[in-house]
Structure 1
Amino acid sequence: MLVPEFAIRTAAPGDDRFLAALDRNTWSTLHAVQPRPEPGTPFFDERHRPEDYLVAVGEGEVVGGAALLGYVRVAPPTPLAVTAHVRQIQGLAVAEAARRLGIARALLRAAVDRARAEGAVRITLRVLGHNAPARALYASEGFAVEGVLPGEIFLDGAYVDDVLMGRSLGP
């Protein structure tokens, strides 16, 4: 089912249970290094605040009856002043039924726009080496591989590279 239009907005506290369900439903060892979230686990906590997330919201006919189609988390990489000029993508997910509609790309672009608006001059992310679709998306949006930590992650019985990507937010 196609979503004719969607909007991107900052997450609100009331999005918690919908985002928690989306996170559980999209969980995969292709991209997740944490165990699958248990039902009833809150999505937001003191480290994961609604204002750190941008959400894609369906307008008109909505995929699978769920208004929240995806999210991206964009936040400072550390609480240190020396990295205040950097933002980091710390999660990106799109509902399976809403994939291939440009939602992930739109969320990524919105994250870049937000980072610029916050005064950041760089944006970075980490992606698992075996996640070819995500790596291709990031590369197509100007992210370059800036480092690889070979075998850094032991996931599902195999060692996986941790790939560091980034891009300048200059003009």
Structure 2
Amino acid sequence: MASTITDITPDQPAFDQLADLFDEYRVHYGETTDPGGTAQWLREQLTAGPLRAAVALPDLGFVTTVVLPASLRLATFWQVRDLYVRPDRRRGGTARALLNHVVDQARAAGAIRVSLQTEPDNVPARALYTSAGFRPVEGLIGLSLTLSATAQRV
């Protein structure tokens, strides 16, 4: 049975499934489970923030994206922030279907590109992304400044 991919807002019944799955995703990457905090954060981000989400049911996967300005081109681009399918449901095409869903939506909205990032050792994800046409960005270096109570001022 193929998954049905649905865009999710906090007022939809499937939001609770998304929140549970998102908490599971956080735990998968080493965070402590926090179902209430996860649901609250998602609700805030989907309501007032730039985050968008789609869920694949019944295969239990999701994707989140943000739409960002492409200022030099006076356009927008979409960035995939999170893509997750439950481990026991992988290798069935759900991740590819979620990725295609984002690309189709971005294209329909007139975005100039879809971007994403992943860890260098996430071989399965990199294989999926390259097979879908994503390529490394040459000539750019990603930089990040971690903000915390002990972070130095710039």
1:74·1:115 contact (CA, 8 Å) conserved in 2?
Answer: no
Q: For 2:88 and 2:9, how far apart are their aligned partners in 1?
A: 23
Structure 2 segments unaligned to the other structure (5+ residues): 147-154
Quick check: 1:71 aligned with 2:70?
no
2:35 matched residue in structure 1: 39
Any idea what SS the aligned residue of 2:45 has? coil
Count of aligned positions = 136
Q: For 1:105 and 1:140, how far apart are their aligned partners in 2?
A: 9
Instruction: Point out which structure has higher relative CO (alpha carbons under 8 A, 6+ apart).
Output: 1
Q: TM-score, normalised by structure 2?
A: 0.73
Question: Out of 109, 121, 141, which is 1:130 matched to?
Answer: 121
Structure 1 segments unaligned to the other structure (5+ residues): 64-68, 155-171
After TM superposition, list the pairs within 5 Å mapping 1:39-118 onto structure 2: 39-41=35-37, 42=39, 44-49=42-47, 52-58=52-58, 69-77=60-68, 80=69, 82=71, 84-118=75-109
Q: For 1:39 and 1:153, how far apart are their aligned partners in 2?
A: 28
Structure 1 moving runs of 4+ over 3 Å: 48-51, 147-154
% of aligned pairs identical? 34
Q: For 2:93 and 2:23, how far apart are their aligned partners in 1?
A: 21
1:6·1:57 contact (CA, 8 Å) conserved in 2?
Answer: yes
More helix by share: 2
More strand by share: 1
Q: For 2:18 and 2:54, how far apart are their aligned partners in 1?
A: 11
1:7 partner amino acid = T
Report the CA distance between 1:124 and its aligned residue: 0.3
Q: TM-score, normalised by structure 1?
A: 0.67
Kindly report the root-mean-square deviation, in angstroms, between the aligned alpha carbons of the 2 structures.
2.9
